[in-house]
Structure 1
Amino acid sequence: MNDLTPNLEIQVELEKLAQYLTLDDTTWQALVDAGAANLRELREHIEQEMYNQHRKGFQHLASWTRWLSIKQLAKLAYAIGAKMAARLVGEMDPYFAAKVARRLTPDFLGEVAAQADPRKIREVIRRLPAELISQVALKQIQEKQFLLLGRFADALSAPSIREVVNTVKDDGALLTIAFYMENTTQLSNVIRMIDNSRLASIVRSGTENADLWPKAIWVIDHVEGELKSRLGNIMAEQDERTLDSLVDVAHRQQLWGPVLRALSVINPRYHRKIVNLPSLRNSAVLTDLVNAAVSKNLLEETLPLVNAMQRDYREVVAHTALRQGEEVAEAVVQAAHQSGQWDLILDLAQFLGDDERNMLARLPISHNPSVIEALMRNAAKLGKTDLLLDFARRFHREGLQTVVEISLRDGGDLLQAFLDAARDTRDGWQAIATAVSVVDAPDMLRDIGRIYQRQNPQDQQAFREAANETGLWSRLEQALPA
C-alpha cells in the first residue's frame, strides 16, 4: 500500500489496518475519507473480533500449561509455531508467560509479538528483562518492523527503554519507533530518559532525511509542553537549507498546525531565523500557513512570529492574509484583540492599499465598540493616529459615532491626540471633521467645542475650514461655550 494521504494520523491507521486487510488501492483510497478516528475504531473492532475467535479453546489450553515446566512450554512454543504460541501466551498469566518468553530466542520472540493480541502481550513485555528486549528490538529494526516496535514501546519499563536507546545506534530507527507509539504520555516519558546529546542526534536524523521530517514533526507535536520546547529548539538550531526543507515538507504534507505549535514554544531567539527563511517568501506557502493558523485556532500563537519578520516579509504576510477574504481577516483582527497584539495589526496596516483597508473597515468586528476603543488607544500610544484617521473615514455612520464617543471620554484626551496628529497627516483635518460631523447630540457638540477652543489659532482655522466642508461648523459654532 502506497502513501495515500498527507495526513499522518490517517496514514498510520491505514498501515495498521494493512496488517489485517488485503485491499486494492481504490478501496484503500476510499478509506482515507473515513478519518483517523473512524479508522482506529474499525481497526480495534477487527482486532477484537480476530482475537476473540477460538478464545475459549486457547483459554482451555492455557489452563493446562500450569502442569508443564517452563522448559517444556518453551519447546511447545517452538513446536506449534509463532502464531499459535502468540494466541496461547495471550491467555496465560503474564508473569508465567514472561518466564516462558525468557527461554525463547529474540528472533522467535519477535515473531510471537507480531502475532499476539496487543492488549494481552503488553503485560508480558513489561516483565521481560531489558537485555532481551533490546535484542528483540535490534532484530525487528533489521526487518524494519517499526510499527510493531512502536506499538509495544508503550509497554516498556524504564530500564528497558534505556537499554534499547543505548543499544540501538540508528537514530532514524529510534525516531521512527517513537512516531509509531500510541501512548503519547509514554512517548513523553521515553523522551525524558534520553540525554540532550542523543536527543539532538535523533531529531537531526529527521532533519537530514526528507522521509523522516514528517515523523520528527509529529513526535515534537505529541510530546508534553516542556519537551515540545526542548525538541523545537533542537529543530530550530538547524541550518537554513535544512529548515527550508522543513517548510517544504510542512507545505506539501499539510503539517503547518504541528509546526506552528512547536514554533509557539521555542526560544524567541530563534524566531527571526525561522520566519525570515527564503522559502517563506513563496505566496502559496504563506497562504497555506495563514489558513492553517486560522483553521487550527493558532492565530494568537502565530501573530508574535510576524513581529520577528523583516519589513518586506511582513508586507507579503499582510497582503496574503487579506487575499484570503473577510473571514480570515476577521479572525486575524479577533486574535489580535483577544491577545492584545494591536501593535502588530497597526504595523501590518501600513502596507495595505485602499481596497484592502476598505475591506477591513467593513468587517463586523471593526464596528465592535471594544475593538474600536482598543484600536484607538493603541494607535494613540504608538503614534499611529494617522492610520486610525484613515480607517475612521472609511467607517459607516454608526462606526463613526462610536469613534467620536470614545474619543470624548476622559476629558477628550483621545480627540486631542488625533487633533495633534492632524497637523502632520494628509487630509487629517478633513478626516476628523468627517468623523465628528455625525454628531447631533448637544452635549457631545459642547464637549467638542471645548476641545476646539483649546487649540491654537492656526489649528482652529484648519479645523473650521474642514468642518465647513462637512456641514459640521454651523452646528458646532452654536454649541461653543460663551
Structure 2
Amino acid sequence: MAPELASRAELVKLARALGTTTDDVTFAASLTSRDLRRLRQRVVGALYDEHRAAFRRVAAITRTLPVALNVRIALRAFSPLLAARVAGEMSPDRAAELANRMPVEYLAEACVHLDPRRAGPLVRAIDPDRVLAVVTELIDRGDFVTLGRMMDAATDRMLADLATTISDDALLRIGCYAESDARLTRAVAALPAERLRAIAHTALNGPPDLRAAGLSLLARLDDERLRERLAGYAVEELSRETTT
C-alpha cells in the first residue's frame, strides 16, 4: 500500500512539473516511485535550465537598482512565474529582500514556479513570519504539492512553527508531497502527544484520501519510535471507536 501511495504522489508531482494533469502522465504509472522521482527531477532540470541564461541577465540588472524600485518593477511588469525564475538566479539574500516587501498572494503564486533546486537558500532567507503567511495562503488554495516542496526548504524553526500552526488535515496532505522523509519526520517530531493523537483521529475519521494520507505519513517517518507512537495513537482511536 505504501509504495502505491508514494507512486501516486510522484505522478501528481510529475504532472505539476509538466503543467498537465495526472491523466496525461499515466504512461509512467508502471514505474516505481524512485524511478518516477528521477524522471521528474530530469524534467525539472530540462525545463528550468532551458532559458536560464536570459533570467540570469535580468537578475544581474536588478543588482544595480534599489530594492524598492525592483519591487515596483516586478509587481507591474513581471508575472509571478517570471519573478520566480529571476529570483532563482539572484543571491538568496537579495531575493529575500524583495520577497519580504511583496504581497503574500503574489509570493504564493511565485512559489509555485520557483526552481525547486534553488528554493532552499531563498526560503530560509525570507522572514519566517512572511513564510508562514505564504504557507497559510497556499493552504487556502489547496496547493499541497508546492507546500510539500517548501517543507524541504524550510529551516528547523520554520518546520516547528508550521507543524504547530497548520491544521491536522493540512499537515497530512502536505506530508503526501514532502520531498524529504527526514524533513517530514522533523516536522512531525516537533508535535506534542495531544497533537499526534488529533492527527490520528483526523486521519481515521476523514474521507478516503485523508486516510490514505495518514498511511503515507506513517510509512514515510524515518524515526521508528515516532512511527510506533503514531501507530499506537491510531490503535487507541480504533479501540475507542469499537467500544462506543
Structure-1 separation of matches of 2:163 and 2:34: 31
* CA deviation profile, 1:1-39 (whole Å, cap 9, x unmatched): xxxxx81111111101111153684x5333211222222
TM superposition shift of 1:43: 1.1
Query: Which position in structure 1 is the counterpart of 2:116?
Result: 118
Structure-1 separation of matches of 2:22 and 2:149: 25
**Equivalent pairs: percent with the same residue?**
28
3-state SS in 2 of match to 1:119: coil
- 8 A contact 2:200–2:237 mirrored in 1: no
Q: Name stretches of at least 5 consecutive residues in structure 1 with no aligned partner.
A: 1-5, 244-272, 274-482
TM superposition shift of 1:195: 1.3
Quickly say closer, same or farther: Cα 1:21–1:156, change in 2 above 3 A: closer
Give the alignment partner of residue 73 of structure 1, picking from 70, 73, 78: 70
Quickly say closer, same or farther: Cα 1:29–1:56, change in 2 above 3 A: closer
Query: Which position in structure 1 is the counterpart of 2:85?
Result: 87
Structure-2 separation of matches of 1:115 and 1:231: 34
Query: Which position in structure 2 is the counterpart of 1:29?
Result: 26
TM superposition shift of 1:56: 0.9
Query: Which position in structure 2 is the counterpart of 1:161?
Result: 159
Query: Which position in structure 2 is the counterpart of 1:182?
Result: 179
Give the alignment partner of residue 40 of structure 2, picking from 38, 43, 46: 43
**1:464-479 correspondence runs (5 A):** none
Give the alignment partner of residue 221 of structure 1, picking from 219, 231, 236: 219
Structure-2 separation of matches of 1:202 and 1:24: 28
TM superposition shift of 1:203: 2.4
Matched, 1:197 2:194: yes
**1:385-400 correspondence runs (5 A):** none
TM superposition shift of 1:242: 5.8
Quickly say closer, same or farther: Cα 1:10–1:56, change in 2 above 3 A: same
- 8 A contact 2:80–2:110 mirrored in 1: yes
3-state SS in 1 of match to 2:63: helix
TM superposition shift of 1:166: 3.9
**1:284-299 correspondence runs (5 A):** none
- 8 A contact 2:218–2:227 mirrored in 1: yes
Query: Which position in structure 2 is the counterpart of 1:105?
Result: 103
Query: What code does the residue aligned with 2:155 have?
Result: S
Structure-2 separation of matches of 1:131 and 1:202: 24
Query: Which position in structure 1 is the counterpart of 2:229?
Result: 230
| Superposition misfits of 4+ residues, deviation over 6 angstroms | none
**1:281-320 correspondence runs (5 A):** none
- 8 A contact 2:159–2:186 mirrored in 1: no
- 8 A contact 1:82–1:108 mirrored in 2: yes
TM superposition shift of 1:158: 2.5
Q: Name stretches of at least 5 consecutive residues in structure 2 with no aligned partner.
A: none
Quickly say closer, same or farther: Cα 1:23–1:214, change in 2 above 3 A: closer
Structure-2 separation of matches of 1:77 and 1:41: 33
TM-score between the two structures when normalised by the length of structure 2? 0.90
**1:74-473 correspondence runs (5 A):** 74-78=71-75, 79-168=77-166, 170-209=167-206, 210-223=208-221, 224-240=223-239
- 8 A contact 2:107–2:134 mirrored in 1: yes
* CA deviation profile, 1:322-368 (whole Å, cap 9, x unmatched): xxxxxxxxxxxxxxxxxxxxxxxxxxxxxxxxxxxxxxxxxxxxxxx
Structure-1 separation of matches of 2:50 and 2:241: 50
| Largest Rg, 1 or 2 | 1
Structure-1 separation of matches of 2:215 and 2:25: 25
Structure-2 separation of matches of 1:232 and 1:111: 36
Quickly say closer, same or farther: Cα 1:160–1:21, change in 2 above 3 A: closer
Pairwise CA RMSD of aligned residues? 2.1
Aligned length, in residue pairs:
237
Structure-2 separation of matches of 1:24 and 1:194: 33
TM-score between the two structures when normalised by the length of structure 1? 0.47
- 8 A contact 1:131–1:163 mirrored in 2: no
